[in-house]
Amino acid sequence: MVKKTYYKTKDYCKVKFSFQVENAETIEILGLNSDWEHAVIMSRKKDGSFTADVNLPKDSTHEFKYIINGKEWINDPEADGLQPNIFGGTNSIISL
């Protein structure tokens, strides 16, 4: 799930990412702000889901993917869309 919170007086949008995958020990987000090297580490909740809050610029679009347990790349099924990538797959898209 991707929840967007807009502020009238701010130039950014607060985005809450929530994701759950069976047998996940860690989940990270890569690609936000075109940064594929520095992951956003998601926090594990008691119910087994993972969450992260990120501030992203308004009127922007970002490609991203989740990395499960440091090796499995997964798109968000509730993302705003998908974009083909250079590896022959797709990346999730979030538009603000």
**Distance separating alpha carbons of residues 61 and 69, to the nearest angstrom:** 26
CATH number at residue 54: 2.60.40.10
Q: Which residues contact 24 (CB under 8 A, 6 or more apart)?
A: 48, 50, 68, 69
| Ordered per-residue pLDDT tens for the chain, 96 residues | 899 999 999 999 999 999 999 999 999 999 999 999 999 999 999 999 999 999 999 999 999 999 999 999 999 999 999 999 999 999 999 999
What's this model's pTM, rounded to 2 decimal places? Answer: 0.93
Question: Which residue range forms the structural domain that includes residue 82?
Answer: 2-95
Instruction: Provide the domain count of the chain.
Output: 1
